[in-house]
Amino acid sequence: MNVIVQPLGALLKMIFDVVGNYGISIITFTIIVKLAMIPLTIKQSKSMKKMQEIQPQIKELQEKYKDDKEQMNIKMMEFYKENNVSPFGGCLPLLIQFPVIIGLFTVLRNPMDFGFTQEVVQAAFLWVPNLSQSDPWILPLLAGITTYLSSAIMPNTNNQQKTQLNVMKYIMPVMIFIWGRSFPAGLALYWVTSNIFQAVQQILINKPNLKQVEITR
């Protein structure tokens, strides 16, 4: 994990040395990291779109071989191979991003391990008197709301995935709000910034598809 954590900590410190404000450094840091992850996000979106397009054929295969699970699995894998798509294509980018997210949390939870002084970390930012301490209401509430919004605009490919997204849509914001009240405010600031970036990014990715739908109508 240090292989990921140390470069991220160095990046945050480098940004701070330029901008001179810990809160602005966290926002800039989050945006830079999210920009670096755009290729993974695009790959994930393309995979989910492809899976959505072939859902009718998948349902036909499932119905045709519903009494023979082994044969159904064989035919499904053949179908995926023929269409050059992986059922796990949408999950792989998330798995790659997971250690990066853990690294980000480690850096922002222990910033003094990466060259920050206590005075810098405990400085006020906007309405938050101390970014190293938890913000009891505003940032956790914003974190919960933006988590809901970023989940609400995510596409789904099938009923099972729709159910999973609905669970995440309503449960995760509550959990993030609760956690945000105990996390350092710097972590909550990162989460809010990350969610806003992700929501805007997903809207831009979905926009060409929306135009195509309007044209076909």
Give tens-digit pLDDT for 183-212: 888 888 988 998 898 888 878 877 655 444
pLDDT in tens, 63-100: 877 777 787 778 778 777 777 776 665 555 566 667 77
Please check the confidence at residue 217 and state whether its pLDDT lies above 70: no
Placement of tokens 């849509």 in the chain: 169
Burial of 208 (0-12, 13-18, 19+ CB in 10 A): exposed
Radius of gyration of the chain (CA): 21
Give tens-digit pLDDT for 96-142. Answer: 667 777 887 788 778 888 888 888 888 888 888 888 888 888 999 99
In the numeric block, the tokens 């119905």 are attached to: 63
Question: Which distant-in-sequence residues (6+ apart) come within 8 Å of 188 by Cβ?
Answer: 134, 135, 139, 140, 142, 143, 180
Q: Residue 100 belongs to what domain range? A: 2-216
The rounded distance, in Å, linking the Cα atoms of 90 and 157 is 10
In angstroms, rounded to a whole number, what is the distance separating the alpha carbons of residues 99 and 8?
12
Tell me which residue of 98, 175, 126, 172 sits closest to 22, measured CA to CA.
126
What domain count does the chain have?
1
Q: In the predicted model, is pLDDT for residue 160 greater than 80?
A: no
Give the sign of the dihedral formed by CA 86, CA 46, CA 41, CA 217: negative
pTM of the complete model beyond 0.85: no
